[in-house]
Amino acid sequence: MIASPPRIGGLDVQSWGDPQDPVVLLIGAPQGLSPDWRRWVRALVEAGRHVLLADALEAGDEAAGLRRLLTDISSRPAILCSAQTLAAVVPALVVTGPALASCLIVAGEAPVEATAPLDGLPILTLDPDAPADPGETADAVILAFLERQAPREALYYQAGSDPRTLRDALGCFATGVTVVTTQDEAGQPVGLTANSFSSVSLDPPLILFCLARSSSNLERFQRAAHFAINVLHIGQQPMSGAFARSSAERFDGVAWETWDTGAPILSGSLASFECATHQVVEAGDHLVFIGRVTRARFEPRRAPLLYFRGRYRRLHFA
C-alpha cells in the first residue's frame, strides 16, 4: 500500500489505491490504524476503491470541517466511520447527506436513533456483537454493501473501437504464467513466457497455447514436432521476466532437463507438460498450438505465479 499526504478541504489526508477509483473516506479510524481497519483498507483497494483517511476533525467545528472535506472530494464518497465518531459525522450529513455521500458504514455498535436524522442515506452498521453469517467476514459485508450502494462504472468495448479497451477487458481474466519451450533443429533450447495456456481435452489429453506471429521463435515452434509447457510458481517471477525479454541468453543460469522430446523441462516448476504437437490453427495475429500431452509432472504444495490486469500477483488463501 502506498500512502501520500495530500490536503483536501483543509485537512491532511492519507490515501491508498488509485485516485481514479471511487472514494471511500475513513473517519475516526484508530490512531495508527488497528488490524481490522488495516485489513479493510487493503480489501477496499483490492476491490478497486480509493481510500482516504482524514485527520482528526477540529473539535467544535466537526460538522463544517467534514462538509468542507466532502465538497472538496470530486465524486460523492462512501463514508466509513467508527461508532464513536458518529456524533460528529451525523450533523454534517443531515438533510444534505445523500448529496454529499453515497452511503455510510458505521463500524461498531450504534443505536438506530443515532442515524435516524440521515433519512435517504443508505447505512450499514457493522455491529461486532450481531451474529454474522458463518464464514462472512466484515470485509465481505462492506464490499457487498458498496457494490450495491456505490457501484463502480463499467467500461465498454465495441467491435472496431479502441483495441486498448479490449486488452484491458481481457486482462480481467486472471491467469497463471508459463514458459513454453521447444528444441530447435540445431539442438538449441527455445522458450518464451506465455499466459495463453489452457487445458482443452482429457481424452485425448490436449492442451494449447497461443504464439504471436511476431515471435522470433515462430518458425522454430512450427518446425518442431513437440513443445513443453512449464507452469511457474511464485518464486519463478524473475524467470517469467527473463523469458519475456528479447535476449539470446534466456536459459543462462536456468536449471533444466529433457524428457523424451528434447523440449526443456524447467527444474522446480509448479507443473510441466511435455507434448507432441497435435494441430496448429491460424487465428488472427496468433497461431494456436494444440499439443497432446505425453508426460506431465507437478508439485502439489507450491503457490502459483499469477498474472492479472498486466501485473504479477500472488494467491491469497482465505
Q: What is the binding site for ligand FMN (CB under 6 A)? A: 177, 192-196, 209-212, 215-217, 244, 246, 307
Please give the torsion angle defined by the CA atoms of residues 150, 68, 56 and 40, in that order, rounded to the nearest 10 degrees: 10
The C-alpha atoms of residue 50 and residue 25 are separated, in whole angstroms, by 8
Is 40 or 307 the residue whose CB approaches ligand FMN more closely? 307
Percent helix, strand, coil in the chain (nearest 5)? 25, 35, 45
193 or 261: CB nearest ligand FMN: 193
> Of 175 and 258, which CB lies nearer to ligand FMN in the complex structure?
175
Q: Is the dihedral of CA 31, 34, 37, 38 positive or negative?
A: positive
The residue among 292, 303, 296 whose CA lies nearest residue 272 is 296
Q: What's the half-sphere exposure (Cβ side, CA atoms, 13 Å) at 160?
A: 0
Q: Which three cell numbers stand for residue 183?
A: 528444441
Toward ligand FMN, which CB reaches closer, 20 or 246?
246
Total count of residues recorded for the chain = 318
Contact 13, 52 (CB under 8 A): yes
**Nearest-approach distance from CB 286 to ligand FMN, in angstroms:** 7
Q: Which is nearer to ligand FMN, 177 or 275 (CB)?
A: 177
Whichever of 56 and 280 has its CB closer to ligand FMN, that residue is 280
CB of 245 to ligand FMN, least distance (A): 6
Minimum CB–partner distance for residue 221 and ligand FMN (Å): 9
Torsion of CA 278, 261, 298, 288, to 10 degrees: -30
Give residue number: closest CB to ligand FMN. 196
Q: How far is the CB of 200 from ligand FMN (least distance, A)?
A: 15
Nearer to ligand FMN, 23 or 287 (CB): 287
Min CB(201)–ligand FMN separation in Å: 19
Beta-bridge partners for 289: 209, 280
Q: How far is the CB of 9 from ligand FMN (least distance, A)?
A: 41
What's the rounded Cα separation, in Å, for the pair 67 and 62? 9
Minimum Å distance from CB 259 to ligand FMN? Answer: 22
Shortest reach from residue 242's CB to ligand FMN, in Å: 10
Nearer to ligand FMN, 164 or 301 (CB): 164
Please check whether residue 231 is in contact with residue 270, taking contact to mean a CB–CB distance below 8 angstroms. yes
Give the C-alpha distances (Å, rounded to integers) separating 160 from 95, 155, 166: 47, 15, 10
Residue 114 near residue 89, CB atoms below 8 Å: no
Helical axes 138-149 vs 35-46, angle rounded to 10°? 40
